Amino acid sequence: MSTESRVFRPESFGALAYDHRARRLTLLRDPTRVGAAPETLDGVLAAGLSAPVCLSWEWTYGCNLACVHCLSSSGRADARELSTEQLCTVASELAAAGVFYVNVGGGEPMTRPDFFEVLEHTLATGMGVKFSTNGTLLTRAAAARLAALPRLDVQISLDGADAATNDAVRGRGSWRAAGRAMSRLAEAGLTDFKISTVVTRHNAGQLDAYERLAEEHGAVLRVTRLRPSGRGQDSWAVLRPTQEQQRTVHRWLAERPQVLTADSFFHLSALGQALPGLGRCGAGRLVCLIDPIGDVYACPFALHEEFRAGSLLNEGGFLRVWREAELFRRLRAPQPAGACADCPSLSVCGSGCMAAKFFTGLPMDGPDPECVHGHGDTLLASAVPPTGAPDHGRVPRSLLPLVTR
């Protein structure tokens, strides 16, 4: 059931409500079920939701850029990628299950010839779509077509407030292309599109400039955390913000609750003031990821066999994976505090990001590698990062020296 912008989904404890316009999720308890359902958010998540609140959905590994921190190591499309018909079928299945919105990415989704066909079908199901693009393929005609669609958020990726900073990470000419795309979206009347940046050692001091850039284009700023996933494993050591920069970013975000963060900085809440958001890892409990060939992963930042829960191409489709996969059952169960058990910050940081720990070789029950108390740095010296992550086209080695400047 839905109103103009608010959508409801029944759950064992009552219902979930999501407001597309306000981007707000609300738990609605049924008073007749008190005592028969979990009373805390952790209890709700442990019991398992009937479907994800949202999920990341990568439509292709194909990309015309080679960003040095790409989570999926994208570059070449995979011959096994889902067809137009399969993608549309999945969209209908997700909508029927009550998924509120999907985060569409890749790779670069606009490299698919059927991009608009699948996008328009997905929106026609009633779900919202948050679509991330590097902007290089966003023509004026495409911008006008996007502006006419309902429940659509367009996010332009930009990792520097100037060309030198951005292009060292995303490739020569990418800053100019992103700027052109932003101008075209603004001209098409698409209000509140997003400028999305990953905070690095080299752009952490540019947040004020990003804020001005968003204001100039009538856009909303979205700031997210750098993860050591995909090609980020190779570049994380030279791109990761310093401890002092982390403190500065925390203060900056705390003063600007209107800046979106995708709840990716909850590890910084250990500095004192909690940032807006869930404040804990939602992998396999609130969110998950579908990759371009139909594999389902627990975490949007962990494309590795260790976090693969199954395939939606198998009998029972996506919902069977979500509701029955052993990996998801384990993640929903109470997690041991491990080395962080005696830390007073555990209740606010939740010991940090699962993907960040895994890809730097730290134990899952240990501290985040960027723990603000420095506990992660102590363990990193002897950590052995895992291998075996998929690679769909390595970054040109000529780009790597640029990010060390």
User: Would you say residue 167 has pLDDT above 80?
Assistant: yes
pLDDT in tens, 339-385: 899 999 988 888 999 999 999 999 999 999 999 999 999 899 999 99
Looking up tokens 């009998």, which residue turns up? 315
User: Would you say residue 399 has pLDDT above 50?
Assistant: no
Q: Strand 6-11 vs strand 152-157: parallel, antiparallel, or unpaired?
A: unpaired
Distance (Å, whole) CA 288 – CA 36: 27
Per-residue pLDDT at 402: 40
For the chain, the average pLDDT equals 91
Which runs of E-coded beta strand occur in 42-108?
54-58, 101-105
Mean pLDDT across 218-238: 96
Mean pLDDT across 216-232: 96
The DSSP line for 277-317 is S--S--BTTTB-EE-TTSEEES-TT--SGGGEEEETTSTTH
User: Would you say residue 164 has pLDDT above 60?
Assistant: yes
203 or 388: whose pLDDT is higher?
Answer: 203
CA distances to 160, 179, 201, 264 from 165, in Å: 5, 14, 10, 22
Q: Record the tokens describing residue 225, joined without a space.
A: 């955390």
Compute and round to an integer the Cα radius of gyration of the chain.
20
User: Could you tell me which residues come within 8 angstroms of residue 364 by beta carbon, excluding any fewer than 6 positions away?
Assistant: 335, 338, 354, 357, 358
Q: pTM of the predicted model, to two decimals?
A: 0.93
User: Would you say residue 335 has pLDDT above 60?
Assistant: yes
Per-residue pLDDT at 401: 40
Backbone angles phi, psi at 2, to 5 degrees: -155, 160
The DSSP line for 92-124 is HHHHHHT--EEEEESS-GGGSTTHHHHHHHHHH
CA distances to 11, 175, 351, 357 from 209, in Å: 43, 14, 31, 31
pLDDT in tens, 4-49: 578 999 998 889 999 988 888 888 887 776 555 555 666 777 778 9
Per-residue pLDDT at 1: 31
Per-residue pLDDT at 4: 54
Mean pLDDT across 57-63: 97
Q: Record the tokens describing residue 318, joined without a space.
A: 């996506």
The length of the chain is 405
Per-residue pLDDT at 144: 98
69 or 397: whose pLDDT is higher?
Answer: 69
